[in-house]
Amino acid sequence: MKAQYDYTIEPEVIENSPTLAQINDVIAAPMEAPPTKGWKIALAISSTMLLIGAISLGFSFYYGTGLWGNNQPVGWAFPIVNFVFWVGIGHAGTLISAILFLFRQKWRTGIARFAEAMTIFAVMTAGIFPLIHTGRPWLAGYLFPLPNQHGLWVNFTSPLLWDVFAVSTYFTVSLVFWYVGLIPDFAMLRDRTKEKVKKFFYSLLSLGWRHSNRHWNHYEMLYLVLAGFATPLVLSVHTIVSFDFAVSILPGWHTTIFPPYFVAGAVFSGFAMVQNVLIILRKIFKMEHIITIDTLEKMNKVLLATGMMVGYAYGMEFFIAWYSGNPLESFVFVNRAFGNYAWAYWIMVTCNVVIPQLFWIRKLRRNLVVMFIVGVFVNVGMWFERFVITVTSLSRDFLPSSWDYYKPTLTDFGILIGSFGLFFTLVILFIKFAPVVSISEVKGVLKSSQPHHH
């Protein structure tokens, strides 16, 4: 009989006790080797997807938003769904980087850098959508409170404006946080590299880091402060995004559960995306001992927890829809489950509520294939959740005379594909030119770096 799992001894964060030099070698290896065939193929595929998106966007700018499926009453569809989807994905990174840092969870070190990078790329991808989904994107400047001779300010009571501030703040803080964390690593690379061009750029990016105590002192303090800045953003940014919906009067949108529900959902889909990409990454870069199964298992536990929160929110929405006695409210929810978008609703429920339940079983939690598939389904489910929320509530609202069905067009899909293309292109470029694991932090949790007797 197999021994019972012993939870008294905390498993090593980094397995096989590598030396500091070995850590350097492993993490710097992808940047020092010439681009592999796999990398080139991956970049080609993601660039093609990006190109499809660029072409779709180009047509949309030239001909108009009519190329999409949006209509009256469904004024928001794919572009907003994609926006919320990508902003949501970004939250995993910040949670791992900032919140887990404040909670002193050592297992985050292997994944924090990559997760934070993914946040930035996700927010970049997401940030495109509010600008392009407008009817006149060349006037996007009107959305910013720029002083002008009319004395005209923007409308501060509009959630879309709050989005502008929230997303730009999120992007700025995440970028600064991520960059600050990268400084020691760029310094390490600068010291390692023999090539002149790389040395130039790494020198520039490492801002003259000398590995001195003073530098480390400042670094640790700054990192803590930035983590403190970034932490509330995890909760606030997606709350603001949820206000796009919750502050309106539409039944199905106008509920107070949206902020926590959206935040939980964001973490849920973000973790799924991070976990998916990490599984691939650790294999191709041979970092299985740094990004361990234990780490992945912990991520899956978070996935399960947030998935249950999302499931709870679904249930609670239905309960309140009935309990409130408001016929408009109850209609919306019954319509979601049994109306003309029921197919989307049940995909959402299956993917978000049913499939993650597999993670109760430890063996499945630690199985790479299973967790990868579950992650994919979770992302599909979360995309559909935003779709269901946005489109079904608009499609059948107050006056039955305004009801109409929404059907996406090829351009909509093109832009969606393009967003994935942009995201993955940035990720693929990132793994070639920057360290995917936070070298200094990992070194900090190595057994060999702790004070010990030899």
Partner 1 sequence: MSLETFWKSPTDLKFPLLSKEAKEKEFIDGVTDDFNPNELKGLSRRKFLALTAATLAVSTVACTDYHDKGEIIPYNKKPENVIPGIANYYASTCTGCSNHCGILIKTREGRPIKIDGNPDDPITKGKICAIGQASILNLYDPERYRKPRKRNGTNFSDIKWQEAFNELLSKVKLANNTGSEIAIITPKIESPSQKRLFELFLQKYPTTKIYSYDTMTDYPRRRASELCFLTPEPPVADISKAKVIVALESNFLGNEGNFVKNIAQFTENRNIDNPENFNRLYAIEGIMTITGANADIRIPLNPTKLLDLVLSLISDLLNVKQIANGTVYEKVKNYNLEKFAKENNLETKQLKYLLRDLVENYGKAVVIAGDKMPVDLHIAVNILNDLIGARQENNESILIHDFETLLTPLSTLNDFEELIQKVKSGKISVLINFDTNPAFDLSSMEFESLMRKIPFTATMTDSETETALASNLIFPINHNFESWGDYKVSNNTYTTQQPVIEPLYGTYQKEDILLGILNEKLDKNSYHKFVKETWSTQIFPQSNSGVNFNEFWTSVLHDGVYQLPSSKTSFPKINYDAINSITQQSKSGYTLTLKNSYNTANGKYQNNGWLLELPHPISKITWDNYAVVSERTAHKLGLESNKMIQIKANGKLMEIPIFILPGTVDDHFSIEIGFGRRAAGTIGKEVGFDAFPITTLKQMFEGYLMNLEVIPLPNKEYKLATTVEHHSLNDNFTKDLAKKRHIIQDGILADFIAGKEIVEHTHDAKSIVPEIEYNGVKWAMVIDMNKCVGCNACVVACNVENNIPIIGKDQVQRGREMQWIRIDTYYTGNQDNPEVANQPMLCQHCDHAPCENVCPVVATTHSPDGLNQMVYNRCVGTRYCSNNCPYKVRRFNFYDYRDQFANHYQKADSLALMMNPEVTVRSRGVMEKCTFCIQRISEAKASAIAEGRQVRGTDVKTACQEACPASAIKFGSSNEPDSELYYWRNHKLGYHVLEELNVKPNVTYIARLRNKVETKI
- Which residues sit at the interface with partner 1, rule CB under 8 A? 63-66, 69-76, 130, 133-137, 139-140, 142-143, 152-155, 157-161, 164, 244, 247-250, 327-328, 331, 334-335, 338-339, 394, 396-406
- Rounded-to-5 percentages of helix, strand, coil across the chain: 75, 0, 25
Rounded CA separation 304/289 (Å) = 24
> In this structure, what token pair is assigned to residue 449?
């770096």
User: Residue 1 or residue 249: which is nearer to partner 1 going by CB?
Assistant: 249
Question: Min. distance of Cβ 7 from partner 1 in angstroms?
Answer: 50
Question: Min. distance of Cβ 348 from partner 1 in angstroms?
Answer: 20
Closest CA to 273 of 146, 405, 117: 117
User: Residue 158 or residue 203: which is nearer to partner 1 going by CB?
Assistant: 158
Q: How far is CA 233 from CA 151, 170, 296, 387, 390, in A?
A: 31, 7, 24, 24, 23
Question: Min. distance of Cβ 329 from partner 1 in angstroms?
Answer: 12
Contact status, residue 125 vs residue 57, Cβ threshold 8 Å? no
Rounded CA separation 174/212 (Å) = 25
Q: Which residue has the tokens 């080139």?
A: 40
Question: Min. distance of Cβ 83 from partner 1 in angstroms?
Answer: 12
Question: Min. distance of Cβ 340 from partner 1 in angstroms?
Answer: 8
User: Residue 48 or residue 155: which is nearer to partner 1 going by CB?
Assistant: 155
Cβ-Cβ contacts under 8 Å for 181 (sequence gap 6 or more): 97, 112, 113, 116, 223, 438, 441
Question: Min. distance of Cβ 124 from partner 1 in angstroms?
Answer: 20
DSSP structure class, residue 286: T
User: Residue 232 or residue 408: which is nearer to partner 1 going by CB?
Assistant: 408
User: Residue 116 or residue 244: which is nearer to partner 1 going by CB?
Assistant: 244
User: Residue 5 or residue 138: which is nearer to partner 1 going by CB?
Assistant: 138
